[in-house]
């Protein structure tokens, strides 16, 4: 990934300062990264909670291992050698693949459109009074009128709810209103992704150079025009880079939505799994890996040559995909505005409000919330450690000095990362339930496998963009390879590795919902039990608990990053 792509992804972790570096620091520059006193305290707390979480699972009464599932586990992987390649099933897969891709394309386009509009409206740049800041890149809060500050805060907080609810939960709610309509998959992606994209786009806008914008505002140019001419050209590469990253996420999310009833590859996967037709399952898995490889290759091609975008081909391909998606899904927008849909929506809102406690009261809710937090913490830790170990192997290394063994190992590592991130968390959870009885452990392992693939890819791209001159100089001066690695590589990569790890921890918190749906524990399992029982008041209470947990994780991540600055 190019520096602009890395910068756009890093903005997920917070406003433009990368851990241990300066605002907007490029990957090629050396960064002073260390673990100060505050960081050591957080590390100690992290280890204590991790040990306590795993220890509490192992200390539970009853067995953890599903001894009856081992033969099925072996049979499942043996079926990888004999996937179902019948013409009838391949035709079904082609149809399902087009449905999944259509959900992702239309959902992403709608999310980006929402992100552009809402991102501008929630940016601090939009809510400032436009007066020059005397050379400062950020207008101080004291210079912003109270009304504008209140407007900025209200619009910002308004995105917390749609951003904090997983797209699978949105799909479940929309299914109760729209039924098996293709709009369910599109809207379930567009709503949370639009909120997330708006937040990231607002931060990209706020971190762009403010001098030209303030100069235009001071000369009487309208706010929107000043943004269009002064900010948009500078922010466009990062906006486009993040849009494609969001599309990659949407493809994986579309598979998950199929597993909760929206259709596509996920729906076919559930049917094949439930019928123990493992040959069909592996055909679907290979299809998802191939689809992930194509999307990944497309994204890599767009980011080549130092961030120079092939905009013409990208726009053309996007337009073709959008038209094909509209023709294939043929969504009927008119039914969204019918009296029947309005009545169903009003009934759903009435059922959801007021939020209620689950059976068992506060103790059950707090117990499942704690289990969810433990699952995300254990999953993030396993995924992070494994990803860092594989990243240095998976990173592409050019030059004549790279031997065939190194290239072969790198290719194998990249395919491993692609395989693990192409399979959605519910699939990994179903595989883990072959080996372990239902509970938080298989859920944590499923999330770890999935996030390992994503984190490994991000960390490998960090390694590819490192400035290796310090490392090479140390080697040339006679330093041992381990010392050269510790002093020449770790200071540059450590901060970004931690930043991405914290971000994926926040995402893993929301993803506990989709592994809980298949019986892997936590609030997700509680939510599925409530859905089956039509306990909508309990569902809204559980959803609010998930939003609160996501906010807590976000605050902890922010505090950790600040302690490392």
Nearest to 92 by CA among 272, 326, 260, 324: 272
Instruction: Identify whether the C-beta of residue 302 lies closer than 8 Å to the C-beta of residue 290.
Output: no
**Tens digits of residue pLDDT in 414-463:** 999 999 998 889 889 888 888 888 888 888 999 999 999 999 988 888 88
How far is residue 145's CA from residue 40's CA, in Å, rounded to a whole number?
A: 40
Where in the sequence is the domain holding 254, given as residue range(s)? Answer: 105-350
| Domain contains 315 | yes
- Over residues 135-159, the mean pLDDT reads 56
Q: Which of 158-162, 350-354, 496-500, 525-529 has the highest mean pLDDT?
A: 350-354
Distance of CA 49 to the CA centre of its chain: 24
26 pLDDT higher than 70: no
| Domain contains 33 | no
- Looking at the fold, whether 375 and 294 belong to one and the same domain comes out as no
- Looking at the fold, whether 432 and 393 belong to one and the same domain comes out as yes
| DSSP category for residue 480 | -
Which region among 325-334, 399-408, 447-456, 458-467 has the lowest average model confidence (pLDDT)? 399-408
255 pLDDT higher than 60: yes
pLDDT band, very low/low/confident/very high, at 475 (cuts 50, 70, 90): confident
Given this model, what pLDDT does residue 58 score? 83
- Looking at the fold, whether 398 and 258 belong to one and the same domain comes out as no
Tell me the whole-structure pTM to 2 decimals: 0.81
Q: What is the DSSP string of 246-290?
A: HHHHHHHHHHHHIIIII-SHHHHHHHHHHTT-HHHHHHHHHHHHH
Given this model, what pLDDT does residue 476 score? 81
| Domain contains 432 | yes
Which region among 92-106, 252-266, 348-362, 395-409 has the lowest average model confidence (pLDDT)? 395-409
Position with higher pLDDT, 286 vs 513 = 286
Exposed e or buried b per residue across 184-196, where buried means at least 16 C-beta atoms within 10 angstroms of its C-beta = bbbbbbbbbbbbb
- Over residues 517-530, the mean pLDDT reads 81
Look at residues 294, 319, 350 and tell me which one is the last residue of a structural domain: 350
pLDDT band, very low/low/confident/very high, at 339 (cuts 50, 70, 90): confident
- Looking at the fold, whether 345 and 372 belong to one and the same domain comes out as no
- Looking at the fold, whether 264 and 386 belong to one and the same domain comes out as no
Given this model, what pLDDT does residue 31 score? 40
How many Cα atoms occupy the beta-carbon half-sphere of 419 within 13 Å? 8
How far is residue 233's CA from residue 437's CA, in Å, rounded to a whole number?
A: 54
Residues in the chain: 565
- Over residues 59-66, the mean pLDDT reads 79
Position with higher pLDDT, 292 vs 14 = 292
565 pLDDT higher than 50: yes
pLDDT band, very low/low/confident/very high, at 156 (cuts 50, 70, 90): low
Q: CATH number, domain at 170? A: 1.10.3720.10
How many Cα atoms occupy the beta-carbon half-sphere of 83 within 13 Å? 13
- 3-state SS, 13-48, equals HCCCECCCCCECCCCCCCCCCCCCHHHHHHHHHHHH
Label residue 55 exposed, middle or buried (CB < 10 Å: 0-12, 13-18, 19+). Answer: exposed
How far is residue 15's CA from residue 17's CA, in Å, rounded to a whole number?
A: 6
- Looking at the fold, whether 433 and 308 belong to one and the same domain comes out as no
Given this model, what pLDDT does residue 105 score? 95
Position with higher pLDDT, 157 vs 279 = 279
| Domain contains 358 | no
| Domain contains 288 | yes
Look at residues 350, 380, 409 and tell me which one is the last residue of a structural domain: 350
Given this model, what pLDDT does residue 20 score? 33
pLDDT band, very low/low/confident/very high, at 22 (cuts 50, 70, 90): very low
561 pLDDT higher than 80: no
How far is residue 291's CA from residue 281's CA, in Å, rounded to a whole number?
A: 15
How many domains, the chain?
Answer: 2
Ramachandran class of 86: left when φ > 0, alpha when ψ lies in -120 to 50, beta otherwise: beta
| Domain contains 308 | yes
**Measured CA distances, 217 to 46, 125, 139, 213 (Å):** 47, 11, 14, 6
Instruction: Identify whether the C-beta of residue 207 lies closer than 8 Å to the C-beta of residue 239.
Output: no
**Tens digits of residue pLDDT in 382-395:** 999 999 989 888 88
| Domain contains 464 | yes
- Looking at the fold, whether 377 and 314 belong to one and the same domain comes out as no
- Looking at the fold, whether 475 and 557 belong to one and the same domain comes out as yes
127 pLDDT higher than 80: no
| Domain contains 283 | yes
- Over residues 36-42, the mean pLDDT reads 70
Given this model, what pLDDT does residue 8 score? 46
- Over residues 240-267, the mean pLDDT reads 89
- Looking at the fold, whether 389 and 282 belong to one and the same domain comes out as no
Given this model, what pLDDT does residue 12 score? 43
Given this model, what pLDDT does residue 492 score? 76
If you count DSSP H runs as helices and E runs as strands, how many of each does the chain have, helices first?
26, 0
Residues near 118 by beta carbon (within 8 Å), at least 6 away in sequence = 155, 159, 194, 195, 198
Instruction: Identify whether the C-beta of residue 545 lies closer than 8 Å to the C-beta of residue 534.
Output: no
- Looking at the fold, whether 329 and 417 belong to one and the same domain comes out as no
Instruction: Check the CA dihedral 78-451-122-117 and report its sign.
Output: negative
**Tens digits of residue pLDDT in 167-226:** 888 998 898 888 888 899 999 999 999 998 998 888 888 877 677 888 888 888 888 888
- Looking at the fold, whether 480 and 515 belong to one and the same domain comes out as yes
Look at residues 324, 350, 376 and tell me which one is the last residue of a structural domain: 350
- Looking at the fold, whether 341 and 377 belong to one and the same domain comes out as no
């Amino acid at each position: 990934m190019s520096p602009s792509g890395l910068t756009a992804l890093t903005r997920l972790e917070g406003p433009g300062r990368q851990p241990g570096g300066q605002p907007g620091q490029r990957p090629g520059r050396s960064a002073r990264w260390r673990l100060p006193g505050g960081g050591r305290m957080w590390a100690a707390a992290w280890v204590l909670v991790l040990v306590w979480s795993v220890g509490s699972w192992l200390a539970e009464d009853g067995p953890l291992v599903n001894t009856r599932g081992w033969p099925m586990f072996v049979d499942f992987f043996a079926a990888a050698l004999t996937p179902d390649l019948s013409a009838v099933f391949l035709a079904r897969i082609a149809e399902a693949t087009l449905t999944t891709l259509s959900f992702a394309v239309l959902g992403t386009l709608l999310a980006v459109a929402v992100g552009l509009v809402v991102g501008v409206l929630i940016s601090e740049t939009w809510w400032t009074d436009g007066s020059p800041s005397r050379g400062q890149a950020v207008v101080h809060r004291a210079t912003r009128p109270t009304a504008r500050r209140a407007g900025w805060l209200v619009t910002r907080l308004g995105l917390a709810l749609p951003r904090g609810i997983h797209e699978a939960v949105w799909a479940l709610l929309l299914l109760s209103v729209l039924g098996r309509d293709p709009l369910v998959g599109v809207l379930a992606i567009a709503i949370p992704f639009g909120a997330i994209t708006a937040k990231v786009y607002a931060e990209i806008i706020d971190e762009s150079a403010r001098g030209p914008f303030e100069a235009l505002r001071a000369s009487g140019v309208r706010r929107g025009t000043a943004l269009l001419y002064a900010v948009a050209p500078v922010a466009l590469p990062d906006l486009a880079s993040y849009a494609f990253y969001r599309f990659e996420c949407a493809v994986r999310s579309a598979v998950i939505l199929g597993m909760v009833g929206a259709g596509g590859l996920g729906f076919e996967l559930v049917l094949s799994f439930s019928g123990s037709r493992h040959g069909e399952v592996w055909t679907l898995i290979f299809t998802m890996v191939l689809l992930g490889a194509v999307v990944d290759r497309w994204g890599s091609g767009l980011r080549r040559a130092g961030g120079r975008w092939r905009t013409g081909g990208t726009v053309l391909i996007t337009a073709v995909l959008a038209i094909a998606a509209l023709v294939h899904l043929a969504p009927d927008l008119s039914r969204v505005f019918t009296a029947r849909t309005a009545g169903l929506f009003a009934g759903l809102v009435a059922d959801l409000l007021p939020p209620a406690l689950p059976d068992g009261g506060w103790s059950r809710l707090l117990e499942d919330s704690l289990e969810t937090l433990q699952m995300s913490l254990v999953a993030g830790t396993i995924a992070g450690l494994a990803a860092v170990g594989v990243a240095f192997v998976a990173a592409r290394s050019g030059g004549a000095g790279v031997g065939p063994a190194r290239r072969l190992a790198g290719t194998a590592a990249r395919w491993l990362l692609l395989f693990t991130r192409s399979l959605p968390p519910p699939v990994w959870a179903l595989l883990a339930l072959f080996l372990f009885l239902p509970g938080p452990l298989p859920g944590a392992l499923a999330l770890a496998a999935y996030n390992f693939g994503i984190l490994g890819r991000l960390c490998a791209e960090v390694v590819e963009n490192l400035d290796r001159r310090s490392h090479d100089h140390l080697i040339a001066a006679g330093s041992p390879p381990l010392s050269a690695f510790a002093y020449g590589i770790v200071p540059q990569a450590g901060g970004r590795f931690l930043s991405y790890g914290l971000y994926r921890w926040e995402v893993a918190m929301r993803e506990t919902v989709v592994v809980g749906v298949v019986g892997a524990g936590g609030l997700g399992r509680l939510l599925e039990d409530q859905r089956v029982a039509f306990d909508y008041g309990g569902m809204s209470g559980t959803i609010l608990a998930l939003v609160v947990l996501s906010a807590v994780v976000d605050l902890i991540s922010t505090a950790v990053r600040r302690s490392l600055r």
